[in-house]
């Protein structure tokens, strides 16, 4: 997919049947709320949440077997807990299949995690995951299941910020944003919160993500095999952090929306 072309010509596809979609997320509050805002308030899908220490919750209940979304927490917030032989995830998949009739084998799976310098600190482990978790629907070589790892630098709040802030990629060069709490405070001060996300801002978020990719000299990407792009982004960000102690602000959540066909090139 050509970044420049898509950046100039984008639209939402609200009539898309997206099949079975599973998001495995790090946090129990921010990520589920953002996904709830996007998928139920903008795209009008049903969303089911299984979160730590919270009862099962269904939002926007609709009988639509063609489009089902689940959001679940990994065992712990640290990314190391999504390693391939993790019993928690294996048991979770069994529960989804048996109790919720969720067809794992035919679903798109996304792992949504932060590249947080204070919690997810094992760069070697993360780099390895990026070479394995490269397909949302197809089996991954060396991994027991399908799934695409989408990182946010430094945190998922970068997605919220990308809905409202122009030239987001360069924001951390202007003000000190090292961790998610720094960005959360800035967004609160600017009144740029997830509650305000809407149809128009979602396209702004896509524009900002694509602009960031282009600034990293990534002019095209393949959503069916995101390995090369993920590795390039990670290498750029790690080098920048080593030299400047901050990441350039970027969220790859929008890649899931493109992969699902919810954001597409307008003809």
Mind listing the pLDDT tens digit for each residue in 236-259? Answer: 999 999 999 999 999 999 999 999
Of 74, 68, 78, nearest to 28 (Cα)?
74
pLDDT at 142: 67
3-state class (DSSP) for residue 60:
coil
Cα–Cα distances in Å, from 166 out to 35, 69, 80, 174, 247?
22, 30, 33, 13, 17
Q: Which residues of the chain have pLDDT under 70?
A: 61-65, 84-85, 142-144
Instruction: Give the bridge partners for 264, in sequence order.
Output: 11
- Please state the pTM of the whole predicted model: 0.95
């Amino acid at each position: 997919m050509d970044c420049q072309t898509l950046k100039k010509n984008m639209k939402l596809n609200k009539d898309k049947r997206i099949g079975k979609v599973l998001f495995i997320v790090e946090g129990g509050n921010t990520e589920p709320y953002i996904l709830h805002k996007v998928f139920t308030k903008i795209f009008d899908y049903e969303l089911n949440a299984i979160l730590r220490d919270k009862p099962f919750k269904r939002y926007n209940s609709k009988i639509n077997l063609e489009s089902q979304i689940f959001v679940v927490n990994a065992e712990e917030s640290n990314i190391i807990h999504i390693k391939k032989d993790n019993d928690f995830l294996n048991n979770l998949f069994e529960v989804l299949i048996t109790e919720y009739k969720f067809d794992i084998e035919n679903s798109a799976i996304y792992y949504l995690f932060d590249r947080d310098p204070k919690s997810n600190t094992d760069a070697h482990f993360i780099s390895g995951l990026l070479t394995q978790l490269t397909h949302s629907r197809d089996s991954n070589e060396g991994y027991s299941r399908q799934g695409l790892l989408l990182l946010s630098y430094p945190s998922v709040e970068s997605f919220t910020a990308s809905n409202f802030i122009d030239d987001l990629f360069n924001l951390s060069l202007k003000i000190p944003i090292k961790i998610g709490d720094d960005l959360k405070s800035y967004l609160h001060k600017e009144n740029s919160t997830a509650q305000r996300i809407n149809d128009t801002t979602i396209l702004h978020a896509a524009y900002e993500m694509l602009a960031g990719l282009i600034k990293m000299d990534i002019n095209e990407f393949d959503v069916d095999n995101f390995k090369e792009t993920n590795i390039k982004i990670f290498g750029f960000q790690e080098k920048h952090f080593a030299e400047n102690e901050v990441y350039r602000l970027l969220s790859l959540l929008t890649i899931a929306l493109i992969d699902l066909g919810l954001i597409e090139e307008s003809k």
